[in-house]
Amino acid sequence: MQKQDEVFGLIGQEEKRQSEGLELIPSENYVSEEVLKAMGSVLTNKYSEGYPGKRYYGGNENVDKIENLAIERAKKLFNADHANVQPHSGANANEAVYFAWCKPGDTILAMSLPAGGHLTHGSPVTRSAKIYSFVGYGVTESGDIDYDELERLAREKKPRIILVGYSAFMKLPDFDRVAKVAKEVSAETGEEILLMADMAHVAGLIAGGIHPNPLEHGFHVMTSTTHKTLRGPRGGIIVSKGKVGNPLKKCEHKLENVPTLIDRAVFPGTQGGPLEHVIAAKAVAFGEDLQPEFKTYAANIVKNAQVLADELKKTGFKLQGDGTENHLILADVKSSFRIDGKFYEAALDKVGLTLNANSLPTDKGAAFRPSGVRLGTPAMTTRGLGEEEMRILAGWMKQVAEICQKAGDEPGLEKYTDELAAIREGVRDLARQFPVPAIRPKDQ
């Protein structure tokens, strides 16, 4: 009992941290009380290997209905022919698509990690990079995808998959241009190329109708996490175009059969029993995402991000791509203030502003002391912060950057404890005006 009490005590401390700080990490968000209830339900007790109507265990009549609800809502959100809601994470979703379409050694063309891509898109430290041959394309000086390089590499390497996806990219992709390249290369080689979009960061913007949907621009598959801008539980999803077949039966390796190939790749290919309590929470979140007010929320995410980016520029921050077209901002603090991203991240933590250090495309081997920081507006927008609050945030960020300049390093921040404490109090006061969903306010 003592250990259980300790755990719940720490959960209470995390509630306090979230309530009294402001979350700027672009891959984080807050779920509703209903999503939390579904995740904490008795569904966690049920084993449900297989798919609705095709389970390996009995007693799944209610689970089947819930999973089918999640599937139908996801299809509607993304105008898809099929949805697999079982992936435990975005990484699992990506690996399942690779496994569905590629053989070991096949080439996959994706954005390189330094340019803003994701670990699961071919970083050497990942399992998938040891199985498949990843080739990376980059970005231009303006921060956009280097489409000329992408086309050149596609013609030269003849990949089995062309992947558009990222974790630090601020532009709207030209899906039509990539689809055209894939079609031309396929015609030359006679081999079908799978077009895959990892939209984990912007899936909520797509669902909200303010970001292009890759499935409506020639792409066959879209993967995503279900948290981030979708405001659901931590998990993954794969939506696709094509014929939906029996996942327990083999089918031809053709683009038209992608939904069935993916189902087989998820289970039994790469995962066992699905987390039905999380799938229920996904269904609840997708239901929320289908409501008209979610479109307003998605639009406000981008509006807030653009206001914040403009204010940061006014205070001296240099931004990758000179701003943002989505929810995410990548700031170059090395050239702006002669400090590294990790130092700045640590200083902001002290005042209750949470973001993450991030490499820039120009960084060379600086993963642990990168030149930039990555921030975004989904979580703050969920709490109701608006344009005026974005201006206040930019001011605090400038103040902390200037303190870092004077301090020189993290131990040097001790000399500026009073200045940091004053900013911390301002952050706390502002945060308390915008309660975190599902965290009941406690007496201050």
Q: Which residues are catalytic?
A: 47, 49, 198, 225, 228, 234
174 DSSP assignment: -
Q: Is 332 helix (H, G, I), strand (E, B) or coil?
A: strand
Sign of CA dihedral 379, 381, 384, 389: positive
State the Cα–Cα distance between residues 176 and 184, nearest whole angstrom. 12
Question: End-to-end distance of the chain based on CA atoms, in angstroms?
Answer: 28
* DSSP H helical ranges for 88-126: 90-101
Contacts (Cβ under 8 Å, ≥6 apart) of 138:
111, 112, 114, 115, 146, 149, 361
Helix (H) / strand (E) element for 194: namely: strand 194-198
How many of the other CB atoms lie within 10 Å of CB of 103? 10
Is the sign of the CA dihedral 248, 252, 255, 256 positive or negative? negative
User: Order of strands, edge to edge, in the sheet holding 328-332?
Assistant: 318-319, 328-332, 372-376, 356-358
Would you say how long the chain is, in residues?
A: 444
CA neighbor of 52 nearest in space, from 67, 42, 72, 69: 67
Q: Give Cβ neighbours of residue 22 (< 8 Å, ≥ 6 apart).
A: 352, 353, 354, 380, 385, 393, 427, 430, 431
CA 177/CA 208 separation, integer angstroms: 23
Residues 6+ apart with CB under 8 A from 58: none
Cα separation, 186 vs 170, in Å, equals 29
**Rounded distance between C-alpha atoms, residue 423 and residue 347, angstroms:** 11
Spatial distance between the Cα atoms of 112 and 121, rounded to a whole number of angstroms: 7
